[in-house]
A and B are shown apart, each in its own frame.
Chain A
Amino acid sequence: MPVITYREAVRHALAEELERDPNVVVMGEEVAQFNGAYKVTEGLLARFGPQRIVDTPISEAGFIGVGIGASMLGVRPVMELMFWSFYSVAFDQILNNAANVRYMSGGQIHCPIVIRGPANGGTNVGATHSHTPENVLANHPGVKVVVPSTPADAKGLLKSAIRDNDPVFFLENTMLYGEKGEVPAGEHVVPLGLADVKRAGTDLTIVTYGRSVLHSLAAAEVLEREHRISTEVLDLRTIRPLDFDSVLKSVAKTHRVLIVEEQKPFASVGSQLAYMIQREAFDELDGPIHRLATVDAPAIYSPPVEVEQLPNPRRVLQAALETLA
């Protein structure tokens, strides 16, 4: 199987879907001529031309609104946000218009738009550029939220997202763009709403997603080697819809749960998960659910300290040991 980067995997998904469906349009700042701020869309302009690969001005509310309006007429825009952090200036378009228009029209309209881009900390760009809004997005019924951790998932999930008839928000990670992995060439589709056991184990379940999957896998390695603890790492992959059955299955196996998320703790994805686990698997739990989140402050700039603000293998390891204590 070919080994490619996460960045290439996203690009392959875009190219294949552009090829498959003439209604797919890629739009965003610097996506065409500049080849993408993070080079995700590199080469697409040359291959598909300016009708399909569209550079926009720095005008997130405007161009995302245009994408939503066009999607109501059957265009399938895949919008790139240079950073998901910039969703705030398009909040009304994303979460009033895209999220609500189906409902408010009594189901007469659907809005097959994808908004994608990186949403992560860890690159020393400070608080304005380090938002991880998956909890905020998923708080809005009507939308779907995807956070892939591996190249294969990135490709397979993006293809599903583009084919989906609901608005799908696809949160990538600049720290993962260069990560490599095996990715099937050609048609490789991962359904939304299906979690994946990235490592099987029996003593502890780590429920996680996005880059935290990598940290959790690294910590699981140490737990096995140095503490003889067998850790199951469950990658949610999609936040909404949520594959909660897989969470329940894993909890029933290990009876101990740690949630790891690159999220501010208050009303996070983990908050929701912890509520659901205690509600639906109370009798399976041998101890309180633990959570490791981002340290609760705006994203700090200072490079070595930012590492400590976010989940990292050392922090996951410590949290895992506390969960089992």
Chain B
Amino acid sequence: MSKKPTAKEASPPSAPDHAQAPVNARLTPEDRVELFRKMVRIRRFEERSLRAYQAKKIGGFLHLYIGQEAVAVGCCSLMGPNDHVITAYRDHGHAIAVGMDPKPLMAELYGKATGCSKGKGGSMHYFDPSRNFWGGHGIVGGQIPLGAGLAYGLKYKGLKGAAMAFMGDGAVNQGAVHEAYNLASLWNLPVVFVIENNGYSMGTSQARSSAGELAQRAAGYDMQWGQCSGHDVYEVRAMMDKFLTLARETGKPSTVEIDTYRYRGHSVADPDNTYRSKQEIEEYRRTRDPIQLFQDKLLAEGVLTPALAEQIDTEARAEADVAADFSEASPFPTPADIQTDVYWEADNPADRRSQGRLFFT
């Protein structure tokens, strides 16, 4: 059982100080604290959801993002009004990172009508188009052409923006991903393909699933690419800023592979001892936890005090508890709700133009 070969050791002293990258240097102390707060909120939300799962409040899968928070927070913190996000089923972090309220997110896990998808999507299918967040997709790699399509839409409408299409290290072997790479490069679509490389696709290590380097495959499609550590939110921002700017300014796509790690099993019900060791997980937690690393940085910068860190954590826990209470108190959808939100026309009967039966028994 070997750790993924690309995992980088903590930055050597000679490495560039990503805090000095312009996109980070211009952050106000409040901005920095906000980045930290977002990561803490994601983690506490997910820990709370895990408890709810263990209490059998949540059905199906629960793919936790714990350990990867700096990726979603770093990337989404760069979003402008015409930037868009789409991701796979490990989507709670992205949802909070784009600014969704944890209450409907938790309620979605509980299968409640107050959920962000009215209890119709579940953990893997969070959406909030009002925040340019297009899901939440359950089929590995299937969302990536849609991400290129969002970029197509931006370009067609003449809007200056970029789409970020997130996927895991396992998704890079799907044909749809490669088709999207080709189209994006061929058509100059402003999309950044983001590979969140946590080393494993379920129980299969990168070494056992992928030939060659992951991001480098982009070169075969004449696309620029980059790799960075996803344990340092500053580094994520520095790298992504470069490629988002490329997309917005020139319409060119790119692929960024962000090295990260998940602490929990693939989904919480999955065994987590067949493919990696406890020591490996512990090692990551101890040396590369994105929240701990950033907390240390902000303490050193004097932006954060231990008391403020403590307060942020307390508030994040309380927020997650409130979300769970809200979910608990919320109603389930009714059987009558099963057949709403299927057809736009059925949901907008005044504007319906077609005739005939839309539903069958």
Cβ-closest chain B residue relative to A69 = B149
Tell me if B144 counts as interface (CB < 8 A to partner A).
yes
| CB pair A166 B152 closer than 8 Å | no
Tell me if A324 counts as interface (CB < 8 A to partner B). Answer: no
Question: In the assembled complex, which residues on chain A have CB atoms less than 8 Å from the CB atom of B150?
Answer: 69-70, 72-73
- A103→B117 CA distance, assembly (Å): 8
Nearest residue in B to A240 (C-beta to C-beta)? B358
Q: Which residues of A contact B353 (CB under 8 A)?
A: 160, 163-164, 191-192
Q: Are A65 and B358 in contact (CB under 8 A)?
A: no
Specify the chain B residue showing the minimal Cβ separation from A25. Answer: B156
A92, A108, A244: the one contacting B127 at CB < 8 Å is A108
The answer to whether B354 and A164 have CB atoms under 8 Å apart is yes
State whether the Cβ of B345 lies closer than 8 Å to any Cβ in chain A: yes
What separation, in Å, do the CA atoms of A324 and B221 have in the docked complex? Answer: 63
Q: Which residue of A lies closest to B348 (CB)?
A: A165
Segment among A6-14, A55-63, A125-133, A304-312 that sits at the interface with chain B? A55-63
- Given A73-B154, A104-B125, A141-B342: A62 in contact with B356 (beta carbons within 8 A): no
Contacts of A57 in B (CB 8 A): 182-183, 186
Bound CA–CA A238/B345 (angstroms): 15
Q: A184-198 interface mask toward B, CB cutoff 8 Å, 1 = contact, 0 = none? A: 000000011111000
Give the CA-CA distance A217 to B116 in the complex, in Å: 51
Selected from B115, B138, B343, B358, the residue in CB contact (under 8 A) with A106 is B115
Q: Residue of B at shortest CB range from A238? A: B356
Are B183 and A56 closer than 8 Å at their CB atoms? yes
Most buried by B among A75, A104, A164, A192: A104
Most central of B121, B130, B339, B355 by chain A CB within 10 Å:
B355
Contact indicator A62/B345 (Cβ below 8 Å): no
Select the stretch in B36-44, B54-62, B172-180, B264-272 that faces chain A.
B172-180
For B136, the chain A residues whose CB sits under 8 A away are 104-105
The answer to whether B344 and A102 have CB atoms under 8 Å apart is yes
**Of residues 155 to 169 in A, which have CB atoms within 8 Å of B's CB atoms?**
160, 163-166
Contacts of A103 in B (CB 8 A): 120-121, 341-342
The answer to whether B121 touches A104 (Cβ under 8 A) is yes
| A44-75 to B contact mask, C-beta < 8 Å, 1/0 | 00000001000011010111111111111111
Tell me if B128 counts as interface (CB < 8 A to partner A). Answer: yes
Q: Are B120 and A59 in contact (CB under 8 A)?
A: no
Do B186 and A73 have beta carbons less than 8 Å apart?
no
Closest to A66 in B: B149
Judge whether B146 and A68 touch: CB under 8 Å: yes
B145 interface contact, C-beta 8 A: yes
CB-defined contacts of A93 to chain B, threshold 8 Å: 142, 145-146, 176
The answer to whether the Cβ of A265 comes within 8 Å of any Cβ in the partner chain is no
Cβ contact within 8 Å between B117 and A164: no
Q: Are A165 and B344 in contact (CB under 8 A)?
A: yes
A62→B221 CA distance, assembly (Å): 14
Tally B residues with Cβ within 8 Å of A.
61
- Cβ-defined contact, A241 with B356, below 8 A: yes
B145 and A65 contacting across the interface, CB-CB below 8 Å = yes
Contacts of A61 in B (CB 8 A): 145, 175-176, 179
How far, in angstroms, from A141 to B347 measured CA to CA in the complex? Answer: 13
Let me know if B127 and A141 touch, CB within 8 A. Answer: no
Is the CB of A85 closer than 8 A to any CB of chain B? no
Q: B117 — nearest CB in chain A belongs to which residue?
A: A106
Least Cβ–Cβ distance between B356 and chain A, in angstroms = 3
B157 within 8 A of A: yes
Query: B26 an interface residue at 8 Å Cβ cutoff?
Result: no
Question: What is the size category of the interface that chain A forms with chain B?
Answer: 35 or more
**Can you name the residue of chain B whose Cβ is closest to the Cβ of A60?**
B179
Contact across chains for A192 and B127 when beta carbons are under 8 A apart: no
Within 167-218 of B, Cβ neighbours of A (below 8 Å) are at 175-176, 179-180, 182-183, 186, 189
Residues of B close to A108: CB separation below 8 A: 117, 127-130
**Is B134 in contact with A72, judged by CB distance below 8 angstroms?**
yes
For B136, B183, B344, the residue with the greatest tally of chain A CB atoms inside 10 Å of its CB is B344
From 123 to 180 in chain A, residues with beta carbon under 8 angstroms from any chain B beta carbon are 141-142, 144, 160, 163-166
Q: Kindly state the separation between the CA atoms of A272 and B175 in the bound complex, as whole angstroms.
A: 34
**In the complex, which residues 312-350 of chain B have their Cβ closer than 8 Å to any Cβ of chain A?**
339-345, 347-348
Q: Determine which of A72, A75, A191, A193 lies in contact with B146 in the assembled complex, contact meaning CB atoms within 8 Å.
A: A72
Are the C-beta atoms of A65 and B176 separated by less than 8 Å?
yes
Is B74 part of the binding interface, using a Cβ–Cβ cutoff of 8 Å?
Answer: no
B340 touches A107 (CB 8 A): yes
Set A70, A104, A241: member contacting B149, Cβ < 8 A = A70
Any A CB within 8 A of the CB of B139? yes
Contact (Cβ within 8 A) A166 B356: no
Asked if A66 and B127 make an inter-chain contact with CB atoms under 8 angstroms apart, the answer reads no
Instruction: Give Cα distance in the complex from A66 to B146, angstroms.
Output: 5
How far is A317 from B217 in the complex, measured between Cα atoms in Å?
59
Is A191 a contact of B354 with CB atoms below 8 Å?
yes
Q: Is B118 an interface residue when CB atoms closer than 8 A count as contact?
A: yes
Chain B residues with CB under 8 A of A68: 145-146, 149
A203 to B142, CA, bound (A): 51
Would you give the shortest CB distance from A25 to chain B, in whole angstroms?
7
Q: Which of B129, B179, B356 contacts A193 (CB 8 A)?
A: B356
B258 interface contact, C-beta 8 A: no
Q: A107–B128 Cα gap in the complex (Å)? A: 11
**B63 to A: closest C-beta gap in Å:** 16
Given contacts A62-B148, A103-B120, A166-B345, is CB(A109)–CB(B355) below 8 Å? no
Interface centre among A74, A101, A244, A272 (most CB of B within 10 A): A101
5 tightest Cβ-Cβ pairs between the two chains A and B: A69-B149, A65-B145, A62-B179, A193-B356, A73-B153
| Seed contacts A75-B152, A106-B115, A241-B355; 18 additional CB < 8 Å A-B pairs | A62-B176, A62-B180, A65-B146, A65-B179, A69-B146, A73-B84, A75-B156, A75-B157, A101-B127, A102-B342, A106-B118, A108-B127, A160-B353, A163-B353, A164-B353, A165-B345, A193-B355, A193-B356
Offer 16 A-B interface pairs, CB within 8 angstroms, sorted by A: A70-B150, A70-B156, A71-B149, A71-B153, A75-B157, A93-B146, A102-B343, A104-B121, A106-B120, A107-B347, A109-B134, A110-B344, A166-B344, A192-B354, A193-B357, A194-B356
